[in-house]
Amino acid sequence: MSLLFFGSRYLSVVRVLRVLRIFRVLKLGHHIKEAAVLKKALYASRRKILVFLFVVLSIVVIIGSLIYLIEEEENGFTSIPRCVYWAIVTLTTVGYGDISPVTGFGQFLAALVMILGYSIIAVPTGIVTVEFSRVHAVQSSCQACPSCSAEGHDRDAKYCKYCGTKL
């Protein structure tokens, strides 16, 4: 196709949009309400997550500076930004292995950072889960009609707004 029309290879990006068909094929459109709940939960927890990320960034800079002081340049720890990179890789438990501490105290610090990494993974999960529960509780706190099972009534409603049955 690119032989006939100049620059048509750039239109191949549009083919990626075919992936959106999976929503229709798998009938994922029904889950849009749940995605909205998740979006509200993430939005509600944004400040807590930003504070958490700031604390993690501070910890990474401190750990990177410590490992720079502990390890020597011949071990690959040549600068503080490189050491901060090592701290991020170790804290996130990715562990590429391109830089690793050789001294005993450096290895001890690395072990502490790895353990700290596992505990840090749980914090944002808990923050978002709490907000998700709050948003879900607010949305599901409305009454359901015993007759027609319709939901969405006001909290102080006495009668169903669809069938008129007493709630």
Q: Is residue 54 part of a domain?
A: yes
DSSP 159: B
Domain that holds residue 110: 45-140
26 & 55 share domain: no
Same domain, 14 and 61: no
CB 99 within 8 A of CB 82: yes
> Which stretch of 27-31, 82-86, 145-149 has the lowest confidence by average pLDDT?
27-31
Q: Is 66 in the same domain as 14?
A: no
Cβ(79)–Cβ(68) under 8 Å?
yes
Same domain, 66 and 134: yes
User: Do the domain assignments include residue 167?
Assistant: no
Which residues, 6+ apart, have CB-to-CB distance to 82 below 8 Å? 76, 99
The reply to whether 8 and 77 lie within a common domain is no
* Whole-number pLDDT of residue 158: 84
Report yes or no on 157 lying in a domain.
no
**Do 90 and 118 have their domain in common?**
yes
Buried b (16+ CB within 10 A) or exposed e, 54-87: eebeeebbebbebbbebbeeeeebeeeebbbbbb
122, 65: one domain = yes
CATH number, position 72: 1.10.287.70
Q: Read off the pLDDT of each residue in 37-62 and give the average, rounded to a whole number.
A: 92
Give me the pLDDT at residue 71, please: 93
C-alpha to C-alpha distance for 62 and 83, rounded to whole angstroms: 10
> CA 160, CA 152: separation in Å to the nearest integer?
9
56 and 135 belong to one structural domain: yes
What's the domain count of the chain? 2
Most confident of 41-45, 112-116, 134-138: 112-116
String of DSSP letters for 65-94: HHHHHHS-GGGT--SHHHHHHHHHHHHTT-
pLDDT tens track for 81-132: 999 999 999 999 898 989 999 999 999 999 999 999 998 888 888 998 998 8
Mean pLDDT, rounded, of the chain: 84
The answer to whether residue 50 scores a pLDDT higher than 90 is yes
Nearest CA to 86 among 103, 108, 61, 104?
Answer: 61
61 in the same domain as 1: no
Q: Contact at 8 Å (CB) between 96 and 89?
A: yes
61 with 120, same domain?
A: yes
Q: Is 14 in the same domain as 87?
A: no
